[in-house]
């Protein structure tokens, strides 16, 4: 597994990470033993960058990741780069959320995450979503205090605007910006990717496979009732039909290269930007192994241009979240 650099501390991380959210909720039923097997296999394959958040499963995801770390002892902890997040506050069984960025909440959330993860220091701690009522300087100031206290190694921001990122960097270096970025979600190309490169922030691309839609293996009528994608506008009605046509074209290109849809979509990200690290999520070892193999794929400039053209933003139908999911997401 090739590596890239995380933030100003120049921490080596695998250029394909692992998003752990689906191991706890949102994508139908999960099994902890299956998830632990996938985490173990990821480490065997050279994946050392694991992404969690306190809101995933209302703490379950961090506890699961903590169990994985504990199984391997101190040696495993030294190998693994743990990223987690604070800021989204939800009630059990509900998708709706409120956003808390207050300094007091930052401190309390960090302590709770440290306990669930079973670690003394979080390698990368993100503000998960932005509450505009709290100055970003106050939030980042509290995060910086955690760094100075030795509880956090580096800090990150998720789904923020360029202006917010620049303001944050005046308080403390931002090691990473995490936002949705994939063939069918191209918003970071509005200048955010360039700003990250300028400021020395790694760009972490979540949902790089379009919540598995780009793989061509997911249909809305086969999703579990508790799978939030059933309520995602891109998975519904005429939007799903139109978007599926794009995925079929992607499949044709993948077949020419002898790779899977997922591998081609991940290779597109890796070949376009040296400071982008995708974190595809999966609970299954076979998909993990396929995703990791994308690291070895080199695309030509013509292939990149063809994929760019196929997934022009105006060709993708539907917003990337239902309305409730856009709370705390900044534009521009």
Band of pLDDT at residue 332, cut at 50, 70 and 90: low
Band of pLDDT at residue 146, cut at 50, 70 and 90: very high
What is the DSSP secondary-structure string of 162-225? HHHHHHHHTTS---EEEEE-BTTB-GGGGTHHHHHHHHTPEEEEESTTTTTGGGT---GGGS-T
> What are the pLDDT digits (tens) for 71-128?
999 999 999 999 999 999 988 766 678 999 999 999 999 999 999 999 999 999 999 9
> What are the pLDDT digits (tens) for 34-59?
999 999 999 999 999 999 999 999 99
pLDDT for the residue 268: 98
pLDDT for the residue 228: 76
Q: b/e for 121-155, b at 16 or more Cβ within 10 A?
A: bbbbbbbbbbbeebebeebbebbbbbbeeebbbbb
User: 3-208+272-297 — its CATH code?
Assistant: 3.20.20.100
Q: How far apart are the first and last CA of the chain?
A: 33
Residues acting as catalytic residues? 56
pLDDT for the residue 218: 87
Q: Are 52 and 62 in contact (CB under 8 A)?
A: yes
* Of 162, 178, 167, nearest in space to 7 by CA: 178
Q: Which residues are bridge partners to 178 per DSSP?
A: 158, 204
Extents of the domains making up the chain: 3-208+272-297
Higher pLDDT, 326 or 72: 72
> What are the pLDDT digits (tens) for 192-226?
999 999 999 999 999 999 999 999 988 888 888 77
């Amino acid at each position: 597994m090739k590596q890239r650099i995380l933030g100003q501390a120049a921490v080596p991380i695998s250029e394909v990470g692992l998003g752990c959210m689906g191991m706890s909720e949102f994508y139908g039923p999960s099994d902890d033993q299956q998830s632990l097997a996938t985490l173990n296999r990821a480490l065997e394959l050279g994946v050392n960058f694991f992404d969690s958040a306190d809101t995933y499963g209302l703490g379950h995801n961090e506890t699961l990741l903590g169990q994985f770390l504990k199984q391997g002892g101190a040696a495993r902890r030294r190998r693994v780069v743990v990223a987690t997040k604070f800021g989204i506050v939800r009630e059990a069984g509900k998708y709706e959320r409120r956003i808390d960025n207050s300094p007091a909440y930052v401190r309390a959330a960090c302590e709770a995450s440290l306990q669930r993860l079973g670690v003394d220091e979080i390698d990368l701690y993100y503000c998960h979503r932005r509450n505009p009522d709290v100055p970003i300087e106050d939030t980042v100031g509290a995060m910086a205090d955690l760094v100075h206290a030795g509880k956090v190694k580096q800090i990150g921001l998720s789904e923020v605007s360029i202006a917010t990122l620049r303001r944050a960097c005046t308080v403390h270096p931002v090691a990473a910006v995490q936002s949705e970025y994939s063939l069918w979600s191209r918003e970071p190309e509005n200048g955010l990717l360039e700003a990250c490169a300028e400021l020395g922030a790694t760009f972490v691309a979540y949902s790089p496979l379009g919540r598995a839609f780009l793989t061509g293996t997911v249909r809305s009528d086969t999703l579990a009732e508790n799978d939030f994608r059933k309520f995602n506008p891109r998975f519904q009605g005429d939007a799903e039909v139109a978007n599926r046509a794009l995925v079929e074209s992607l499949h044709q290109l993948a077949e020419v290269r002898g790779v899977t849809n997922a591998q081609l979509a991940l290779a597109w990200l890796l070949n376009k930007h040296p400071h982008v690290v995708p974190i595809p999520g999966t609970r299954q070892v076979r998909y993990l192994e396929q995703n990791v193999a994308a690291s070895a794929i080199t695309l030509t400039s013509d292939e990149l241009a063809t994929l760019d053209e196929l997934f022009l933003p105006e060709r993708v139908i539907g917003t990337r979240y239902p309305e409730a999911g856009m709370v705390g997401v900044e534009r521009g």
